[in-house]
Chain A
Amino acid sequence: MKVLIVDDDPHLRALYKEEFEDEGYEVMIAGSGAEALEMFEKNIPDVVTLDILMPGMDGIEVLRKMKEKKPDLPIIMSTAYDYRDDFSVWASDAYVVKSADLAELKSTIKKLTAK
């Protein structure tokens, strides 16, 4: 099971990588939208977590591009701020507010990958 983590914060990427690898996932990490799409092309993950607010291409655009390619791929929006007023994020499969407690994120991934 491959998880693609997209976040511009290197510490968070490190945390997520360790945590999800502990959970038994194969973890891919990308520091920007562009890097994420590049990886996505080469190696299609089973689930994606996307930060919204990133320099350069933001998470919403990445979400759109990925959904265009692979509408079935579950994508979780993981963000520090609530963007759910924005229609565009509605295309994502889940929305998780970042927290030091990663339990919600983990359960969401588990739920989505279980389908």
Chain B
Amino acid sequence: MLDFSKKIKDANSALITGQLSAQDNGFHNSMTLFAGLRVIFQEINQLEDGEKQLQRLIEFFCLELKAKGCLIRLKDCTGAITIVSAVGLSEDEIYMLGQKSGNLVPLKVFESGKVVAVENLSLSANEYAHKGLLMKSMVCVPIKSAGRVIGTIELYDKFNIVDGSTTVFTAEDGNNCETMVIIFSMAIERALLYIENNKIKKTSQRTSKRIDIFFNNVRSAILIIKKDLTIVSANKAIENWIDINYLSLVGKNASEVFKEGNKCLCPQSVAVQTFETGKSAINNLVIKGRYAEITSYPIFDTDKAGASVINECIVMIRDTTDRILCQNEVMELYKSVTQTKDRLESLIQNSADAIITTTLDGNVLTWNKSAERIFGFTAEEAVSSYLPFLPNDFIDKHNKYVQIIKKGETLKEIETKGLRKDLTLVPMSLTVSPITDKNGIISSVSIIARDISRRKQVEDELTKNSQRLSRLFIIGSAMRGTLEINKLLRMVLTVVTATDGFGFNRAILFFYDDDKKALKGTMGVGPASYEEAWHMWRQMPLPSKTLSERIYDIEKDITEGLLNLDEYFINIEIPIDRQCYLTRAVKDRKAFNIKDATTEVELEPLYIDQLATRAYAVVPMISRNEVIGVLWIDNKFNMQPITNEDMGYLSMFADYVATAVESARLFEKAKLTEKELENIFESINDLLFITDNKYNIVKINRAVSEMLNEPISSIIGQKCYKVFHGLDAPSPKCPHFSTMEKEKPVIKEYEGFHHKSNDTYSISTSPLLDLNGKCIGVVHIGSNIMELTRLRKQLSKIEKVAALGEMAARLAHEIRNPLVSIGGFARRLEKKLSPPLNDYARIILEEVFRLEALLKQTIGFVRETKIGKDTVDLNALLLSVIQSIQHTIRKDVSIDYHLSTQTLEVEGDPGRLTDVFVNLINNAEQAIEGTGRIIIRTRKEFNHAVVEVEDTGSGIDEQTMESIFEPFYTTKTTGSGLGLTIIQKILEEHKGIITVKSKQGVGTIFKVNLNLKEVISQ
């Protein structure tokens, strides 16, 4: 507690101090009291602040009633009791006394309206002491106004004015205090009024300030307009709409400031409405792209008579551009969202897939049209029932799926089967995904079910096709391995007709023969009639072997009783220019599938009569762009239609077959060629052998085997250098060696090629190159040229001799000339000289003769008989002449010959006689101008052989006839003119004659007569 007594002493006037001193005896002196009261009232009245007045009042109370502390509590209009003023108490004490525990006594006073004096607080209310308040006694007096307790005044701890010690308040003190309160109640009330006024003033100031701020800062323009449309007030925001300072608007008439009009800002028109109706009015308009909302609010006032009138109104102009734009935007957004939603819905409804949503428990929420279509349940039937399309055995699985879905995962494309309403199953692909609500919680499930029956079908189809293809492939590889054409064709037909192949009933292969321009039936399989078909299928109810096994059997020549159509069709020939599908397949290079042969114009009796078929197909077989044949097939017996797919496969197969057949044919040709080569190889007399690139003998011919005198088999595989040269390594002497080194052909004469013989061989070695040009071996051709060598040696000897002869002839010439001179002159000398000198000359002459004789003898240059003495068969000779000359004769000249049946043998030189007849025939040809004939005849006339050479030429005139045998006479521009002269000479030497008969324009006959041999010998 503050030391208030001291403060009072210092602060208060002497007057009060004087009074206090006079109070020692209580209120004995009323004059003094009143004077004191007057002073204090005046003092309080001077204070304008109500709170300060209260303060001064309780200070006075403390002083007068000798309390250490005093406070005043007031109840406000809400009923709350607050401490308004205090003196002589610390802030802590004031706080404590303001709390619940501190106002127990005052509350009692508020209730009772009576004074309470407490002598010892610690006895009555523990809290006071407990709270650390040291106050011991108190007085609480109610402040009453109009019979109501509006507050209390409390005094704490009375002090002894003499020693300052604390004493207790008594009931008397309470009464005194009450009396003082009554006295001062007016002052208290006034102070309270002051306080209240102050409060209201402050509030109103604040409010008006706030309104001003609001008024001037609000974005909307605000006008206050009087009934006469005078503007009372305007805020700054009006400048957003009108180009006038807002302050200058005040006092102006709105109708003057704002123009009336549709697109104009016109606040007065709204205001007028409000004034008329007494209600707020609103108007929206667009000004220069900005939206404005103009609202007027009436301001109600009261007239003198107390009736409600409107003298002013507030007009508010709000810029709603942003709001409207925003609104528009929202509208657009809404529209597009709606559209998207619609689309999505329609998408879901029209999707080819069934789109279903369910709860997590599997109850259907939505069910689209495709779901209806696929599963047969209508939406009404499906919605809110448990997944109707789920087959029973799938429910467990689905529950598992739901567990996964609940974890937020999506299951994609699960292939399963769905149950239709009609209890059939449909293959489907499911995609199950969770649907989350806006809070991200998985609330439902979406199921997209796709009907995959079509896909399944396609897949099955594909599988089937791939099986078919792989079968084709197997067959193809089997066919590739078969190069025998008959086997191949049988395979082809087996494939076409086998149940596990193409499965056609019958098949025939026709091949195109380009020479005959016709299709030729080559092979056919299948039953010819129903009887046969029945028989066949009864015999073989099930195919005992698979196609590949049968193909294998054919390859291995294990044939099986196939029914052949061969007898009907083999060798049938269909000319290519006959109109039918078989020939068209060749010409058009197209396959035809004839569904009904009886309605086709291009009928072919073949099909109807022999095959008795209605539907068939023909497929061309094309290899290297050439149609090599046609494959004919039908399904007569099982009536299976031939599909386009079949046709596709057949075409593919036919091309395959064509290629295989072509290669088989090539192979046969190659085989033939090989055989021919083999024959040549074998029959050739020269040594022929082939070695590989390691000198091993790979192939030899018979000649080699004969030369080595060993069988072929024991030679093959040996090293060639071992076999031929008896060496252990290749010999650099051998051309083989060079060929291996240089990979080039080498020819060499090799003496002692075979080590067991000295014979010389001409060895030719050529490298054998593979396709990449790599040397893989060597081909050897060897011929024994021993005979040749011998002949060559002889020839060279002859040549030497001939050269010698030539030299001798020259020498003879050179010697003979001087010998003739020596001899000739010696003879002359012999004649002219007399003995003994003439003897000398004769000796010279004799010696010359001897030399000449020697010359003649040694060189033998003068042949006694120059004509050969051979026996010549004239007929044979003429035949060979005709034969050899025939090709040199002009084409428009023919040679006829009529040779005698008798042998005509003459003695003579066949070469010379040949010359005679060649010359005669040549002359005859030349005598013919243009076309003509040469006729040769032989006959026997008496003891002569007669040869006539007749021509149908121009003939020889008489004058020419005389000189034709003269040397160098010729009528031709070319030729020596010696022809007939020479003929005559030769015939003279053969003791024969030549005569000529000619008629101009008819021809000429040369007739040769020769003596027959018998005649000569006789």
A→B interface (CB under 8 Å):
9, 11-12, 14-16, 18-19, 53, 64, 67-68, 71-72, 79-82, 84-85, 87-88, 90-91, 97-102
- B916 CB to closest chain A CB (Å) equals 12
Which of A80, A84, A98 has the most CB atoms of chain B within a 10 A radius of its CB? A80
B821, A82: Cβ atoms closer than 8 Å: no
Known: A80-B816, A80-B817, A90-B981. A100 touches B969 (CB 8 A): no
Q: How far, in angstroms, from A14 to B824 measured CA to CA in the complex?
A: 10
Taking a contact as CB atoms under 8 Å apart, the answer to whether A90 and B982 are in contact is yes
CB <8 Å contact, A100 and B967: no
The reply to whether A100 and B866 contact each other, CB–CB distance below 8 Å, is no
Contact A100 B848 (CB under 8 A): yes
Give A102 to B821 CA distance when docked, in angstroms: 10
Let me know if B968 and A101 touch, CB within 8 A: no
* Least Cβ–Cβ distance between B72 and chain A, in angstroms: 187
Q: Is the CB of B969 within 8 A of A15?
A: no
Chain A residues whose C-beta falls within 8 Å of the C-beta of B852 in the assembled complex? 99-100
**CA gap between A18 and B11 in the complex, in Å:** 216
Cα–Cα distance between A97 and B852 once the two chains are bound (Å): 11
Interface string of B591-628 (1 = CB under 8 A from A): 00000000000000000000000000000000000000
Chain B: minimal CB distance from A92 (Å): 8
A102 to B824, CA, bound (A): 7
Q: Which 5 A-B pairs have the closest CB atoms?
A: A100-B823, A91-B967, A80-B813, A80-B816, A11-B821
Q: Closest approach, in angstroms, between the C-beta of B70 and any C-beta of chain A?
A: 191
Contacts of A97 in B (CB 8 A): 861-862
The minimal Cβ–Cβ distance linking A50 to chain B, given in whole angstroms, is 13
- Assess whether B534 is interfacial by the CB under 8 Å rule: no
CB-CB under 8 A for A99 and B820, given A81-B809, A87-B978: yes
The verdict on A15 contacting B821 (CB below 8 Å), with A71-B966, A90-B978 known, is yes
B985 an interface residue at 8 Å Cβ cutoff?
A: yes
> What are 17 contact pairs spanning A and B, CB under 8 A?
A11-B825, A12-B821, A53-B813, A64-B968, A67-B967, A71-B966, A71-B967, A79-B813, A80-B820, A81-B813, A90-B978, A91-B978, A98-B817, A100-B819, A100-B822, A100-B823, A101-B827
Residues of chain B with a CB closer than 8 A to A71's CB? 963, 966-969
- What is the bound-complex CA distance between A14 and B825, given in angstroms? 9
Closest B residue to A8 by CB, please name it. Answer: B817
Would you call B824 and A82 a contact (CB within 8 A)? no
Cβ of B809: which chain A residues have Cβ within 8 Å of it? Answer: 81
| Chain B nearest Cβ from A81, distance in angstroms | 5
Q: When chains A and B are docked, how far (Å) is the Cα of A79 from the Cα of B816? A: 9
Q: Are B813 and A88 in contact (CB under 8 A)?
A: no
Q: Is there contact, CB below 8 Å, between B866 and A12?
A: no
A48 nearest CB across to chain B (Å): 14
- Say yes or no for B828: interface residue by CB 8 A criterion: yes
* Contact partners of A90 in chain B: CB under 8 A: 967, 978, 981-982, 985
Question: Which of A64, A84, A99, A101 gathers most chain B CB within 10 Å?
Answer: A99
Q: Which residue of B lies closest to A64 (CB)?
A: B968
CB <8 Å contact, A82 and B823: no
- 20 more contacts with CB within 8 A, not counting A90-B967, A90-B978, A100-B820, are A11-B821, A15-B820, A15-B821, A16-B824, A53-B813, A64-B968, A67-B967, A71-B967, A71-B968, A71-B969, A81-B812, A82-B863, A84-B866, A85-B866, A91-B967, A97-B862, A99-B820, A99-B823, A100-B819, A100-B822
Does A11 lie within 8 Å of B818, measured CB to CB?
A: yes
- Which residues B404-438 have CB closer than 8 A to chain A? none
Indicate whether B582 reaches chain A with its CB closer than 8 angstroms.
Answer: no
B817 touches A9 (CB 8 A): yes
Q: A19 with B824: in contact, given A81-B812, A87-B978, A97-B862 (CB under 8 Å)?
A: yes
Do B817 and A12 touch (CB < 8 A)? yes
Bound-complex Cα distance A72 to B963 (A): 10
Chain A CB within 8 A of B740 CB? no
Q: What range describes how many residues of B lie at the interface? A: 35 or more
Cβ distance A42 to chain B, nearest Cβ, rounded Å = 21
B849 within 8 A of A: yes
* Proximity string of chain B (963-977) to chain A, C-beta cutoff 8 Å, 1 when within and 0 when not: 100111100000011
A12 engages B820 (CB within 8 Å): yes
Instruction: Report which residue of A84, A98, A100 has the largest number of chain B beta carbons within 10 angstroms of its beta carbon.
Output: A100
A64 to chain B, nearest CB (A): 6
B845 is an interface residue with CB less than 8 A from chain A:
yes
- Asked if A101 meets B823 with Cβ closer than 8 Å, knowing A53-B813, A91-B968, the reply is yes
Q: Is B121 an interface residue (CB 8 A)?
A: no
In the complex, chain A residues whose CB is within 8 Å of the CB of B823: 99-101
- Which of chain A's residues have a CB closer than 8 A to the CB of B861? 81-82, 97
Are the C-beta atoms of A18 and B821 separated by less than 8 Å?
no
**Which chain A residues border B819 with CB–CB below 8 Å?**
100
B448 contacts the other chain (CB 8 A): no
A72 and B827 CA atoms in complex are apart in Å by: 33
Q: How far is the CA of A68 from the CA of B976 in the complex (A)?
A: 10
| Minimal beta-carbon separation of B987 from chain A (angstroms) | 12
B838 to A: closest C-beta gap in Å: 16
Q: For the complex, is B576 an interface residue (Cβ under 8 Å from A)?
A: no
Q: How far is the CA of A79 from the CA of B822 in the complex (A)?
A: 16
Cβ-defined contact, A9 with B978, below 8 A? no
Q: Which of B78-137 contact A (CB under 8 A)?
A: none
- A82 / chain B contacts, CB cutoff of 8 Å: 861-863
CA distance A90 to B812 in the complex (A): 22
Residues of B contacting A81 with CB < 8 Å? 809, 812-813, 816, 861
Distance in Å: Cβ of A98 to nearest Cβ of chain B: 5
Contact status of A19 and B828, CB under 8 A, knowing A67-B968, A71-B968: yes
What sequence of 0s and 1s flags, for each residue 790-822 of chain B, a beta carbon within 8 Å of any chain A beta carbon? 000000000000000000010011101111111
- Point out the residues of chain A lying under 8 angstroms from B968, CB to CB: 64, 67-68, 71, 91
Q: Once bound together, how far apart are the Cα atoms of A64 and B814, in whole Å?
A: 25
Q: Which residues of A contact B963 (CB under 8 A)?
A: 71
Q: Check if B824 sits within 8 Å of A91, measured CB to CB.
A: no
Residue of A nearest to B826 (CB): A100
Query: Which residue on A lies nearest to B818, using beta carbons?
Result: A11
Are A80 and B821 in contact (CB-based, < 8 A)? no
Residues in A neighbouring B821, C-beta threshold 8 A? 9, 11-12, 14-15
**How far does the alpha carbon of A19 sit from the alpha carbon of B814 in the complex, in Å?**
21
Q: Name the residue among B820, B849, B976 with the largest chain A CB count within 10 angstroms.
A: B820
Residues of A contacting B863 in the complex (Cβ-Cβ under 8 angstroms)? 82, 84
Q: Write the B983-1002 contact mask toward A (1 if CB under 8 angstroms, else 0).
A: 00100000000000000000
B848 / chain A contacts, CB cutoff of 8 Å: 100
Given contacts A80-B812, A90-B978, A91-B981, contact A100 B817 (CB under 8 A): no
> Do B816 and A98 touch (CB < 8 A)?
yes
Pick the most buried of B817, B822, B982: most chain A CB atoms within 10 A of its CB: B817
Contact partners of A87 in chain B: CB under 8 A = 978, 982
The docked-state distance in angstroms from the alpha carbon of A16 to that of B809 is 22
**A100 with B828: in contact, given A84-B866, A90-B982 (CB under 8 Å)?**
no
- Complex Cα distance A9/B817, Å? 7
Q: Are B845 and A100 in contact (CB under 8 A)?
A: yes
B814 (CB) vs chain A CBs: closest residue: A80
1/0 per residue B852-864: CB within 8 Å of A?
Answer: 1000000001110
Determine the residue in chain A with the shortest Cβ distance to B863. A82
Please, which residue of chain B has its CB at the minimum distance from the CB of A53? B813
Alpha-carbon distance between A90 and B966 when the two chains are bound, in angstroms: 11
Chain B nearest CB from A32 CB (Å) reads: 15
A98 and B820 in contact, given A80-B812, A82-B862 (Cβ under 8 angstroms):
yes
Q: How far is the CA of A64 from the CA of B969 in the complex (A)?
A: 10
Q: Is the CB of B824 within 8 A of A100?
A: yes
How far, in whole Å, are A98 and B966 apart by their CA atoms in the complex? 26
Closest A residue to B824 by CB, please name it: A15
Residue on A nearest B986 in the bound complex, by CB: A90
Q: How far is the CA of A102 from the CA of B967 in the complex (A)?
A: 27
- How far does the alpha carbon of A16 sit from the alpha carbon of B737 in the complex, in Å? 71
Q: A101 vs B853: C-alpha distance in the bound complex, in angstroms?
A: 11
- Chain B residue, CB-CB nearest to A92: B967
Contacts of A101 in B (CB 8 A): 823, 827, 849
Task: Please indicate the chain A residues that have their CB under 8 angstroms from the CB of B977 in the complex.
Answer: 68
